Structure 1
């Protein structure tokens, strides 16, 4: 059995187009496709980057080519907003600088404002990186710097354009009309004050653009997380529309995100190759491997896999999380006599099917068989598993639990509730009452402490264990879907599957040895 998870991915022809156009072998998971009928000023920006000593990599060519598309009907930029979410050390700074210098030199009287985490950080990058690259390049003769505090600017006298900096405040961007606003390191911004300050200053500028860029942040990165959610939604809707009509209207914002879903192993170079578009150009696998060795895993995920860093879960005394890593057995496999269980998340956005079976050594193998969005797939999947494996039982919690709504459909699909509860048949539903759930949770905790279960270290299951929270039920406790820090259904399903195996096994397995439950 293998874990099944669904993370949205663009159509294969999108990656093929990027490979053909730009030689890009690492496409973004979410990315605006190039409009085939629009001219673009992207190649002009590429020349600027080359003059600045950083010829664009394929991913930078793609992003800038889309970002600087020109609407043939208006002659204006097709995109008023450009969002970029990419991991650290991928060349974001070079693209940022290139976009600003191109703007300053392409049109007269351009007002460009750059913001980072703080004004101090913006000035440091502006002076130590931006100006250093400009002043040592072939473009140095076109620019000069003004360093007076509060009035810092890189000036382009021939075009009367300026590249300035600002602070992360509600007054940022106030003053002259703004042609290009750039919000860098967006993970550090906890609200939308900069966007709200920049936007009004752009209203009268027909070619104005707001660019923002960042690697992944934390749960406190409210503005970035909102932008990423909106960007993903925008791209998924766009590809759905294009599938129906190639001439579908496109949004006025473009978005690009390279990202490794949780189920991708952080230590696997294949994950890096699918997530880091500069790999093989400015960074190597050896460098990333060294970063993995020295960094906290959660920070590595944020910096190089573009994942949002979540708070370290507080310990719940009822769930022996510390024992879980020692129960990993990558070679463990399901056997013939397997029990399944179904659980649904509290908000019904995801569901899980887990399996449990007794190994020849007496240990119980646990595995998440399927974990996907929604619930419409559960009954068909369970029906197929039921047919293929002829399980000991299929467990599902009774009324009051989210998965109980599936019981009637399971019965209609031929997975029956036993007529005689004392004498169930192989494959019947095991509908768990509150006492059964309490029993199952306590048994799982004991099994983890006693080392009698084994698992494959699957990401959804391990994450659910680490984030599990419990609630009291009399003098006992049960797993709590609502307060758990991660989505709990994989762990709940595994707990119920183990219970079904242990409780139903004696009733339906002819060769069941009761001593296996004692020793």
Structure 2
């Protein structure tokens, strides 16, 4: 990598979520940066911001993240190994005798990282700091030793690496999405006797876990961080854990290259288009691609509607009969907005789905609100819905006058009506009254729905920062409007309005 230019974005500009430990008064990073600069290693601005926060110290000189650790959810091909690997090398150069370990779950991943870091330390500016025979690969011991006594040890957790170690100053848990509590019990105590004057430091670096991964530890780290964010905030300075998440929008189209850029700060300058296309070719499954290449965390259920429950209601040929009802919802920071639709089917079941923002597009949520009023008018003129429902207390409430000014009648909901709507939606799912066409975006939203107490009732928790439920709320409102207004007899069979 070359020296930073003014055009490179800052960490705060690229992170979807950023929680920095409070009380930081200084950072070890400037000292480490000088070591790396002298060695010909340069970081982009976002990497400098990450390093500054990761090595930030409080007034007592201890790392601010020494308790909670440095947690980063980063997609593939962003430069994780380059960033954390060189940061580790810089620490070894700055602090003689520093003891560090780098551990991945899989042996192959560990070996690939070890090979990458061999290339890093063999660079002209670093090689003279290596001890004689400083790179060791024999007998399964993968180590890099420096003349000042610092050492980096590599090993795979699946092979039991890390048990019994002590006096470790820095631990890097790569593939943190596959991290068991047992592995933490084996390895974290090794930093209790850290000799570094700033204390021990643990990095947790990974991608969002698969449903089959033992990702409870990594997920808990993320949930802890997001709970520290106030509603509507994406940045905060609080707690004792650094959390950085780089990801695309939750409802992103997997092949939207603008979303690739949003998830991957290195694309297309550090990571060229052909690299992304090659990775896409080899990860054809959309769910895997969204998780690993775009950093989008999967939803495994919010405790009310499980993926299994929702999948049982799938009918790829599902469509409603006229009339239909629409529900309009915009989330708290206007980052996602959706128009839900509900209508009875010929068999008496109720179809629910999300309306594309424009004809020919996929049924996903969109940011902002400027497109909504015109789209609602277009739909109303073509399909004469029995109801168009907007929750007046949500961000969509600001659109009520705009929609009415276009000649569309709007039904609004009170807190009581919203609670009734949520309860009715859940009941319809449990009683097998609903059908949907299997949209993965709607499933992610529905299965993220959690309860929020509302007097003696409950409603969807729209302040939950761990997931996006925009589409769930939109179809809940649509269902509410349909049931409240009932089926009108003698109307022709309805055809999809997005064809």
TM bin, normalised by shorter chain, reads: 0.5 to 0.7
- Return the structure number with greater helix share: 1
Aligned counterpart in structure 2 of residue 89 of structure 1, from 77, 95, 100 = 77
Report the equivalent of 1:98: 86
Partner of 1:403: 419
What is the aligned partner in structure 2 of residue 156 from structure 1?
146
Aligned with residue 300 of structure 1, among 265, 282, 289: 289
Give the 5 Å matches for 1:91-490. Answer: 91-119=79-107, 121-126=109-114, 128-143=115-130, 144-149=134-139, 151-157=141-147, 159-168=148-157, 172-189=162-179, 191-205=180-194, 206-207=197-198, 208-219=200-211, 220=213, 221-236=215-230, 250-285=238-273, 287-289=275-277, 291-292=279-280, 295-309=284-298, 319-323=313-317, 339=325, 354=340, 377=394, 391=409, 403-404=419-420, 461=442, 463=444, 490=474
Q: Does the aligned pair in 2 maintain the 1:379–1:406 contact within 8 Å?
A: no
Shift of 1:340: 5.0
How many matched pairs?
410
Q: Separation in 1 of the partners of 2:387 and 2:308? A: 25
* Structure 1 residues 292-318: Cα deviation after superposition (integer angstroms, max 9, x where no partner): 465211111012211234689669797
SS in 1 for 2:317: helix
Would you say the 8 A contact 1:321–1:466 is kept in 2?
A: no
Residues 1:61 and 2:77 aligned together? no
After TM superposition, give the deviation of residue 322 of structure 1 in Å: 1.7
Decide whether aligned partners of structure 1 residues 515 and 362 sit closer, same or farther in structure 2, where only a CA change above 3 A counts: farther
| Change over 3 Å in CA distance of 1:376–1:41 after alignment to 2 | same
CA RMSD of aligned residues (A): 5.2
Do the aligned residues in 2 keep the contact of 1:368 with 1:494 (CA within 8 Å)? yes
Q: Quick check: 1:30–1:256 contact (8 Å CA) kept in 2?
A: yes
* Greater shift in the superposed pair: 46-55 or 278-287: 46-55
Distance 2:308 2:442 in 1: 18
Q: Which residue of 2 aligns with 1:4?
A: none
**Which residue is equivalent to 2:492?**
516
CA distance in 1, matches of 2:235, 2:13: 24
Unaligned runs of 5+ in 1: 1-18, 243-247, 329-334, 344-350, 408-430, 450-456, 469-480, 507-513
> Does the Cα contact within 8 Å between 1:354 and 1:490 map onto a contact in 2?
yes
Q: TM-score, normalised by structure 1?
A: 0.62
Aligned to 1:419: none
Calculate the TM-score normalised by the size of structure 2.
0.64
Inter-partner Cα distance in structure 2 for 1:123 and 1:291: 20
**CA contact 1:83–1:256 (8 Å) conserved in 2:** yes
> For the structure 1 residues 147 and 168, does the alpha-carbon distance in structure 2 shift closer, same or farther, using more than 3 Å as the test?
same
Partner SS, residue 53 of structure 2: helix
**Deviation at 1:494?**
3.7
Matched-pair contact (CA < 8 Å) for 1:339–1:500: no
1:79 to 58, 62, 65: 65
- Residue 284 of structure 1: how far off its partner (Å): 3.1
1:383–1:94 Cα change, 3 Å: closer
Larger Rg: 1
Contact conserved, 2:54 with 2:65, CA < 8 A, in 1? yes
2:75 and 2:292 in contact (8 A); partners too: yes
TM-superposed CA distance for 1:213, in Å, is: 0.7
For 1:367 and 1:459, the matched residues in 2 are separated by: 26
Q: CA deviation at 1:203?
A: 2.2
Is the CA contact (8 Å cut-off) linking 1:260 and 1:274 kept in structure 2? yes
CA deviation string 1:190-227 (max 9, x = no partner): x2233333332222334211111112221332222112
Contact 2:65-2:201 at 8 Å conserved across structures:
yes
- For the 8 Å contact 1:38–1:69, the answer to whether it is kept is yes
Contact kept in structure 1, 2:35 and 2:94, CA below 8 Å: no
Contact 1:86 1:257 in 2 (8 A): yes
Compute the displacement of 1:23 (Å).
5.0
Which 5+ residue runs of structure 2 have no aligned equivalent?
1-5, 301-305, 330-336, 343-375, 450-459, 461-467
